Structure 1
Amino acid sequence: MELLLMRRYSPRGVNGLLQFQGQILCSTIELPWRDNLPHISCIPEGKYRIAKRHSPRFGWHFEIEAVSGRDFILFHPANDAEKELRGCIAPVLRHTGEGKGVQSKMALDKLKKVLYPLLDQGHEIFLTIKNNSK
């Protein structure tokens, strides 16, 4: 099963649309592309496996596995990439600017409602990230 993230790059942040089985689930925000440098860049385009993860800070969320040169890349709530992200992806219900959005917790809850049952049933879910700026 595949999630498709179509990105639009800008100097102050990356905005995206996240689709699953042809349906848009939510929008996303990320840090700008800065050569995949840890904590200051979005991750490279490509295909990654996602898994359920729990932490005291974010509760239940998703981890994006096997990102080259990076650890603990997550889908977690945030509404301002520059202030709240360190390389992760935040789902949002609507973009409000470059790397900014609103209602991130609601967007993450929507993702969990759709994807957690599938992961619990043993399905593998992959995230494919592509450039939509062209």
Structure 2
Amino acid sequence: MEFNLTRVYKSGGTNGTLTLNGHFVCFTIELPWRENAKNISCITEGTYELQPRFSDKHKTHLQVLDVYNRSQILIHAANDALMELQGCIAPVMQLTGIGTGIQSQRALQKLLSLCHQARDRKEPILLNINSNRYEYLKQIQ
């Protein structure tokens, strides 16, 4: 199973669209791009393996494995990237602004359900992160 996350970078945060086989799953919010700096930047673009994980703080969520120069990058519920994330990715059902959204827990449950189906089939779960280059070029002109 391979999810595609297409990002749009803004100075105040990063918004994305998560799809599976071309079908919309949810939106995402992240910190702005700050050269992959720990705790203040979203992670670099690339392909990553996802693994279900449990913690007391976030309950059931996903871990993004083998992120260059980073550790403990998670996909967990949050509605405000600047206030609640330290480099992680938060799924949301609706975007409300740059780096903000609503119904994150609902979006996470939808994502986890898809991942559990893949695990039952013994499929690897991959996340391919890229950006909307057209939107980026519009911003810097």
The two structures share one fold, judged by TM-score above 0.5:
yes
Cα distance between partner residues in 2 of 1:116 and 1:36? 29
Does residue 9 (structure 1) correspond to residue 18 (structure 2)? The answer is no
Residue 71 of structure 1: SS of its match in structure 2?
A: coil
Please state if 1:127 is matched with 2:122: no
1:113 aligns with 2:113: yes
Higher helix share: 2
Shift of the alpha carbon at 1:132?
A: 1.0
5+ unaligned residues in a row in structure 1: which ranges?
none
8 A Cα contact 1:3 1:128, kept in partner: yes
Counterpart-to-counterpart distance in 2, 1:121 and 1:58: 25
RMSD (CA atoms): 0.8
Please tell me whether the aligned partners of residues 6 and 129 of structure 1 are also in contact (alpha carbons under 8 angstroms). Answer: yes
Work out the number of aligned pairs and report it: 134
Worse-matched range after superposition: 114-123 or 95-104: 114-123
Deviations 1:65-109 (A, max 9, x none): 000000010000000000000000000001000000001000001
Q: Which residue of 1 aligns with 2:73?
A: 73
- The answer on whether the counterparts of 1:75 and 1:91 sit within 8 Å (CA) in structure 2 is yes
1:37-76 map, 5 Å: 37-76=37-76
Q: 2: distance between equivalents of 1:69 and 1:114?
A: 28
The one-letter amino acid paired with 1:48 is Y
Q: Following the alignment from structure 1 to structure 2, what is the Cα–Cα distance between the partners of residues 52 and 122? A: 13
TM-score (norm 1): 0.97
1:121 is displaced (CA, Å) by 2.8
Q: In structure 2, what is the Cα distance between the partners aligned to 1:115 and 1:50?
A: 9
TM-score, L = length of structure 2? 0.93
Bigger Cα displacement from structure 2, 47-56 vs 112-121: 112-121
Distance 1:120 1:37 in 2: 35
Q: Which has the larger radius of gyration?
A: 2
| Percent of aligned pairs sharing the same letter | 46
